[in-house]
Amino acid sequence: MNRSIKNLTLAAMFLALGLVLPFLTGQIPQIGSKLLPMHIPVFLCGLICGWKYGGLVGFILPLLRSAIFGMPVFFPAATAMAFELMTYGALAGLLYSISRWQCVRALYRCLISAMLAGRIVWGIVQYIQLGVSGGVFTWQIFFAGAFADALPGIILQLILIPCVMVALNRSGLVRFQHVKGQEVPSAE
């Protein structure tokens, strides 16, 4: 199958997954907003399809979900999340693609770097949006929104995403590789 058609199809699947996953956790808002279910398909899209697809799916997902379902609220939540998730998908995909080894260790480095950068982007966009609209965005609000409230979701992502990638590697659907195209020797 043509690589771009495969990536486009997978990106559409990740977009659809991002639209429906919040329904699994959204029934309990106190938990749902902390597990960050839309982030998982965006990270996976960037890692599997590449940074362009990950960035595009990340940007479209919160805006589309807001337009279709009304959640997240368009302004300021979905607009800030669009830039945050775009950063996640694009940066995780880019860092992973240029990593010397594509393995679990590289996954963690890429995920953590993308998470930090995405949260910084989210904070900058929130600061700009709320400043223009007359709202207030403090360091305490940034820390609470980006880290304290998001900690369960961050932990879930750091456990689930590498597990999915390892399962895909074992099934042969996605291969851990050396940058020159050689497969990483298995640990078995």
Residue among 62, 96, 101 nearest 79 (CA): 62
Question: 88-140: per-residue pLDDT in tens?
Answer: 999 999 999 999 888 999 999 999 999 999 999 999 999 999 988 778 888 88
Where in the chain are the domains? 3-171
Beta bridge partners of 183: 177
| pLDDT of 184 | 57
pLDDT the model gives residue 187: 47
What predicted TM-score, i.e. pTM, was given to this entire model? 0.92
Tell me if the domain spanning 3-171 has CATH number 2.60.40.420.
no
What confidence tens digit (pLDDT) does each residue in 47-84 have? 999 999 999 999 999 999 999 999 999 999 999 999 99
**What DSSP designation does 78 have?**
I
